[in-house]
Structure 1
């Protein structure tokens, strides 16, 4: 498991100074925030052997010196994002921290702060969460930007669907502009002054979550900026537990939502040279859950991410200090407690395992069918009901779900048009991939690996008409396209390319929806719903709103049946629908499994062993694993991973293992991790040990060990010392 830290496979972010108690021993660390302590914090982490990056907010932060006019003599409070009632949209109120309209002057201010980090010697910079809330767009700064961009007077976003859509497009453009200028300027500065090629990344929620929470962000537009080197997919329990509706029931579906979220972020960079790290968080921003709840949902997100093998780099935790030193409600409600020791050990095992997920062998069990469901940046642009008299719901950030359900528009939050097209398939074990519609025109071969696509323009809109030319060609060449939509979305009437001369109140547009233009390219201008042959391919039109498929089991069945019939018509038995109640993938020696609830079976799924349970703090060797609906597993296949030369090798550990060496009398290694934490390691070991010990702070301590003769493995239990290091030695001869 030893590797060069320069590979940057795993990392974490932390705003606090270095401390041995939360030194996770990943490859890199993102020092968070630019303040007077930044340079010292960077230096301390460097001294501990880390590759050091910097992360800071690009939409919010402690920018009061800029807002108050201390920087340039002009106050900038009119650049705070503002809602319809004239209230600032805040990230924090003590002190007041508003979300910002990213103006040119704000970009200059951020650039000067970033320059300090470049001077401090960081190798990469992460500009976090370029976010503009849908319920914003009313500040004086935004009105000025509207006039410059659209060359017309500002229109209140709530006035019409067209006004809302245009406001959101402008919000996305403004963050694209500031990131492009900022990153290009700082890359030029770093290369000229220090001869250093600086990298820039954007940590961002998934397109699915931003749309569901009603936030606008550039997302795929950043792919067109050469100054952006990649992303961190900020997906965690807090985003993925957001409720949605399936078969008429609204509830949290953390695994399924996370599966789709990680999927869309994998697809965002597929076929590009951009780096993607998947994030996990063992807790979340809402501090009111128990450790048991955090653990259950964390494991769901980890497994969901590992089912997407196109990504093998991970941010293993934001804020490890709040995990390893924080306190959260106890199960019995008697108070708060720190992290249970066994959960802390499990977390470290998982974190270090994630650094070994770049495997040559990837096998997906029993999944001949992979369905692409389109989503686009434009989904974020139409997330407000087009009714100027409707209550204007506030922002939702996942920290107060009960309060939002009382005061907000819960139905709007559900994002049912998207989940209506994905959950009916996902719940039956069909591999669903949310595809970036905008990438169809960016990359000629983007659709080549897909044979079945689902599209609806009832919640997204195509940015350009040439997307339809590519889709039509893909169908002509033998693809199966299922279009879902009844042209009822009010946003079909916005000013757009399919309505080239459209004005408010005007009738008879060029096309009554972008669907009409697509069908014209497919030769289906006068066709109605049902199945139609197009060249070597097929188009199935379901003339109803995609949200209808969430309302009942009958609705979900209608979608599933349409996919089955479309496949049978085009491919016969060659590409069959095979429902199953689980997902399973092998990545090298690792087996990742999730068993679905609300699926086709309530039976347990049995995995034959011998397997090491990597979610077990004692790394148990199991002869078989039985998983119930709703359970997940991360397993190590002992037979598949056994070294052919019989030498000592690490199966899993809750430490960073370095210097593993074998001799005639035994083996030894150095284990690094958070101070004084209970640690475990399981290794292949061809003979039974006689003794084991470890050295910390010049003290020799016996290792608790357990030999498993059937698997020829040994479990070692020890502790990291105050200096984050234990030297472990095992003897098998005297």
Structure 2
């Protein structure tokens, strides 16, 4: 992403882009947003990148003109489009090649096509669709100067799999006629594997074409996948290639699409089914980190200040804070998609809490949101760890998506509880549990810092015998493996590697236990293998959360394995997760915990969830709440004037003698709120618009404890100049 090709307009606007003649300096590519709109002043978010969505022309405006509108306002531009659905009416309705292609839609058992919108089905990615994507979409955007392409949401619904094109793909892939997935677990497993394969191949072919075509034009093309987490796709009963893409040579990274809409999916814990937005988001982001960490691929974390479903502004704010905090608790990721669809956020009305009245975004929320978004422009990566034990992992696999629908033999997994049964009992006790992708076990770094690994084949199956070889090796060298499961689900006996050819195992765990010389049917709970240990808990993990107070034994075994067998120190239980990233403090305090005490942080700290940016002597965070703070004691150079927090982005900063000036930009019709560090209280403050006219409605105040001045005034995408002298 370093050699982004600049438009002339961008060069003119950014100034000083060239360090020496002919040698471009790599531009910052840390923050982005996706939009299908041309530039308008209401959505001038000022991130590094505008990801322009969709190749369609609009009435009076071509795609190329829409793209240029963002370049003309100083943005680097990239491109995103759907790979499973999209506004491809020229393909679906026959304009592209004279053939109507609505028949390639994903079809349910009832014969219904699953649509994303009018004339917009979720597709079975057949050859003609891939050809359309390559020639009508990818080629055009590369010709328009795009070098970074995001393919969004490769999704095949678990309830689909009944269309004629899918049946034909089945025959080609398996060499025998299609079998309806509702008739057996085996058929469902085969159907899911094919869905997975079809999108893997579609992405592989499309990304390879993009790179080859770009190369023919002298361009280096990067391709990314924008995708929900494995946690969410499994929960929502969708099949997607997920982890396998991380090792595809044609894929350069991901956007982790986690937001209120995915994270508010209700979960079971302690016998109660309800929304646990922070905890779910934490696990979702974690699964995306573990998917890519060993590969070194770039990862953008997404949050959304609203969501797809209409709610009220108070609901949006509460859950935005929860998901935003969750993503910041992963300090190795420091690139962000700050929002999708700013046009939806800034220009559409939504409900006021406890009312049917709809209003545009309240200014208190747009100010807070912009403070949070602009903090991401300077959010550093960090080697710090979240407080608590970071060495406990839960094994995941793409095959989690293969067992979700339909139900067979009465075996239920309500709300994906076999996953949450392994994770929530620990996370709710303040253990920042890690998720580990089975597909990455061949990378030595995958289990490097894991002391205890929890494994269950109740809701997933091992993808190869090599997985077990890697696990047995890890245990032999000192790892502690806790296996949870009755091995009684109908997928234990599907036609797979553990029960075909020379293998005659009736459950895949038997193969793993054999490698470690363990009799898993003996009823014994603990075994030793080499320097390591194995525990077998003959319960399905969902049993730990579907009933109240059903997880103590599971937690006790994890604690014993960590402290006594791994000898990794004390497994601390608490109700909070805390992390420092440079001057930023990130904390979440969880409810549903025996410890109901609030968390107190000593100041001076600036509260970044408060649009007034108060400097606090202490901050108290209650259970069920989160906080993002700026600790002014951790500023590296306190003699240097600088913007610490703002609902705008600062440009053209200049320090001359006892004066400091800068220009700030942010969307029109929003209020700026900013806190600026100065060596002394300012004697003069001058705020002018882009025409040089002085603004009169400017709020200012001085805080002695932090040596900061507060400024508040109306935002303007054309720029507002601030001059401070002391």
User: What is the TM-score normalised by the length of structure 1?
Assistant: 0.92
Indicate yes or no: 2:234 matched with 1:211. yes
Of 241, 253, 258, the match for 2:281: 258
1:339 to 355, 358, 361: 361
8 A contact 2:305–2:316 mirrored in 1:
yes
1:212/1:413 contact within 8 Å kept: no
Taking the TM superposition and a 5 Å limit, the aligned residue runs for 1:275-286 are: 275-286=298-309
Matched, 1:726 2:725: no
| CA distance in structure 1 between the aligned counterparts of 2:114 and 2:297, rounded to whole angstroms | 32
Match of 2:162 in 1: 138
* SS of 2:279 mapped into structure 1: helix
* 1:86 Cα offset (Å): 0.5
How far apart, in 1, do the equivalents of 2:367 and 2:256 lie? Answer: 25
> Unaligned 5+ residue runs, structure 2?
1-13, 18-24
Q: How does 1:426-465 map onto structure 2 within 5 Å?
A: 426-441=427-442, 443-465=443-465
Counterpart-to-counterpart distance in 1, 2:474 and 2:382: 30
Q: After TM superposition, give the deviation of residue 271 of structure 1 in Å.
A: 2.3
Do residues 492 (structure 1) and 492 (structure 2) align?
A: yes
Structure 1 residue 658: Cα displacement: 1.3
Task: Give the Cα–Cα distance (whole angstroms) in 2 for the partners of residues 7 and 213 of structure 1.
Answer: 35
Deviation of 1:554 after TM superposition, in Å, equals: 2.8
**Paired residue for 1:394?**
none
Secondary structure of the residue aligned to 1:594 is strand
Q: Does 1:326 align with 2:321?
A: no
Distance of 1:629 and 1:600 partners within structure 2: 11
Note if contact 1:13-1:318 (Cα within 8 Å) is conserved in structure 2: yes
- The equivalent position to 2:595 in structure 1, one of 595, 601, 615, is 601
Identify the residue that residue 578 of structure 2 maps to in structure 1: 584
Q: Which residue number in structure 2 is paired with residue 102 of structure 1?
A: 125
Aligned to 1:682, what secondary structure does the other structure show? strand
Pick aligned residue for 2:635 from 641, 646, 651: 641
Higher RCO (CA-CA < 8 Å; seq separation 6+): 1
**Equivalent-residue separation in structure 2 for 1:590 and 1:669 (angstroms):** 23
Written as runs of structure 1 = structure 2, the 5 A alignment for 1:270-419 is 270-287=293-310, 289-360=311-382, 362-365=384-387, 367-387=388-408, 412=413, 414-419=415-420
Distance 1:422 1:238 in 2: 20
Offset at residue 552 of structure 1 (A): 2.7
Match in the other structure for 2:4: none
Distance 1:110 1:349 in 2: 38
1:143 aligned counterpart, secondary structure:
helix
Q: CA deviation at 1:114?
A: 1.7
The CA RMSD measured in Å over matched residues stands at 1.8
Query: Post-superposition shift, 1:613?
Result: 0.6
Mapping of residues 472-621 of structure 1, within 5 Å: 472-501=472-501, 510-525=504-519, 527-572=522-567, 574-621=568-615
CA contact (8 A) 2:189 2:402 kept: yes
Structure 2 CA distance for aligned equivalents of residues 207 and 138 of structure 1: 24
TM-score normalised to structure 2 length: 0.93
Q: Deviations over 1:413-466 (max 9, x none)?
A: 50000000000000000110111111102x133111111110000011111101
Runs of 4+ aligned residues of structure 1 deviating over 3 Å after TM superposition are 2-5, 385-388, 525-529
Q: Match for 2:109 among 73, 84, 99?
A: 84
2:50 touches 2:75 (CA, 8 Å); kept in 1?
yes
Alignment length (residue pairs): 696
How far apart are residue 664 of structure 1 and its match?
2.4
Contact 2:102 2:119 in 1 (8 A): no
Distance in 2, Cα, partners of 1:5 & 1:730:
31
CA contact under 8 A between 1:696 and 1:720: conserved in structure 2? no
Shift of 1:74: 2.8
Give, in whole Å, the separation in 1 of the partners of 2:164 and 2:441. Answer: 37
